[in-house]
Amino acid sequence: MASLIAASLYAACRENNIPRTLDNIAKAENIERRILSRDLRTIIKKIELNLNQYDRSSFISKISNNMNLREKTKRDAFKILSLCEKK
């Protein structure tokens, strides 16, 4: 039951573009990642959920805030991401 709840939480984060990884959710809920992944696939199939990929820039924001990086470093990371996406 806990794994299904955690999988639902992960799906909600994906739908709302809140950057969380399966590993983050699994660690927070003390659930094995493979079980969480299996239950997520089950939820996606049962309710025909269509989850979009995360916006990569949200991870840059999350990581830079967690590391207390300067705004210039953050802007540089966004520029690099933009260049990579173009290529």
pLDDT tens for 1-40 read: 889 999 999 999 888 888 888 999 999 999 999 999 999 9
Q: How many domains does the chain have?
A: 2
For 78, the domain range is 56-86
Same domain, 42 and 62: no
Q: Could you tell me the pTM of the whole model? A: 0.69
Q: Is residue 35 part of a domain?
A: yes
Same domain, 38 and 17: yes
Average pLDDT, the chain: 88
Q: Is residue 51 part of a domain?
A: no
Q: Is residue 11 part of a domain?
A: yes
Q: Is residue 73 part of a domain?
A: yes
Same domain, 32 and 64: no
Q: Taking a C-beta distance cutoff of 8 angstroms, is the pair 22, 36 a contact?
A: yes
59-72 pLDDT per residue, tens: 888 888 889 989 99
Q: Is residue 15 part of a domain?
A: yes
Give the pLDDT band of residue 41 (cuts 50, 70, 90): very high
Reading phi first (left if > 0) and then psi (alpha if -120 to 50, else beta), residue 69 is in beta
Tell me what pLDDT residue 72 has: 92
